[in-house]
Amino acid sequence: MTSFVSCVKRAFVGRVALGLVCSSLAGAAPGALAQSYPSRPIKIVVPFAPGGATDYLARVVAENLTTSLAQPVLVDNKPGAAINLGSDFVAKSAPDGYTMLMATLAIAVNPALFSNMPYNWEKDLKPVTMVGFVPNLLVVNPSLPVKSVHELIAYARANPGKLNFGSAGNGGAVHLSGELFKIMAKVDMQHVPYKGSAPAVTDLIGGQLALMFDNLPSVYPHVQAGKLRGIAVTSAARSAAAPEFPTIAESGLPGYEVLPWNGIFVPAGTPEAVVTTLNESIVKALKQPALKANLLSKGIEPGGNTPEEFGAFVKSEAKKWQGLVKQAGITAM
């Protein structure tokens, strides 16, 4: 019978043939496939520059997989094109389990932002598991006379078009948090996109911006230092890292939720036995008490679900956010 190693080598001949052969082998001898994988180093592609929550989570996964799979797992940063560069690289890689993608919410949003996507995540990528998510925190400049979501909505309605909110760029989770807030609260606020979160936060502290829905770990230290005022988190439940902040949903906008997440994908056609091996190894790592506590201390809520659950979640995210992008008329910069 054709060996799994031979199947992997066919990646260089044609992905279609590879997928058919690998699927056949996966059904015939899943135990043998799982035992033969991995036999060489694995790469996790991060579609961002080093630093930040996505890169950090990829390195946490890489470190744990290196131990559990007994093979080096390396992080390869490929930033650019709102994660499309790195995502497309993985989508076109051999479906053998040796190239993974640490994706974000952007993978579900980008099809509505870009007219010519280089890949189709539903057809070209296969979900493995959600790794974690980091809620955004609604913060305001201390000079703004609001201390709650109710007060912010009232102030915004009394001053239509006068409030501005910053973001790290069009179509990102920070921007979408503000647009969803505008629609659900029925308020008029102006979006100011920046090339990154750091300069936006600097202007927020300086008073050039009124408010922002930024990554909790990024702005929480400024709240603790008194430079910003924290109002509420965008997740459906309060953050374990900062439980003093209510959710926006419980503060006057029921149903409001923005969940900036990170999850692992592999190229479509990757054998099910390999996907199962990766899923089980990552989920097991995320359940370790020490690792879980470490992530929570940084404001990161650990994930860990099945490929089917993660795939269904991403599809629901795509439907939600692509609809909002069209409704708000958001375009890529």
Residue 22, CA distances (Å) to 33, 39, 128 in order: 9, 16, 17
Q: DSSP strand E in 162-267: where?
A: 164-167, 190-193, 211-215, 229-233, 261-267
Q: What is the DSSP letter of 39?
A: -
| Residue whose tokens read 């094109």 | 81
- pLDDT tens across 309-327, in order? 999 999 999 999 999 999 9
Q: Are 233 and 245 in contact (CB under 8 A)?
A: yes
Average pLDDT over residues 8-30: 42
Query: Listing from the earlier edge strand, what are the strands of the sheet with 229-233?
Result: 190-193, 164-167, 211-215, 136-140, 229-233
Domain ranges across the chain: 4-133+261-328, 136-251
How far apart are the C-alpha atoms of 26 and 4, rounded to whole Å?
9
User: Which CATH code for domain 136-251?
Assistant: 3.40.190.10
Mean pLDDT value across the chain: 90
Q: How many CB atoms lie within 10 A of CB 184?
A: 16
pLDDT confidence tier of residue 35, bands split at 50, 70 and 90: low
How far apart are the C-alpha atoms of 99 and 263, rounded to whole Å?
14
Q: State both tokens at 280.
A: 């089980």
Q: Are 175 and 260 in contact (CB under 8 A)?
A: no
- Predicted confidence at residue 57, as pLDDT, reads 95
pLDDT confidence tier of residue 3, bands split at 50, 70 and 90: very low
Please list, residue by residue across 282-306, b when 16 or more beta carbons sit within 10 angstroms of its beta carbon and e when fewer do: bbebbeeeeebeebeeebbbbbbbb
Please state which of the four CATH numbers 3.10.150.10, 3.30.70.270, 3.40.190.150, 2.150.10.10 is assigned to the domain occupying 4-133+261-328.
3.40.190.150
Same fold, 4-133+261-328 and 136-251: yes
Q: Are 194 and 166 in contact (CB under 8 A)?
A: yes
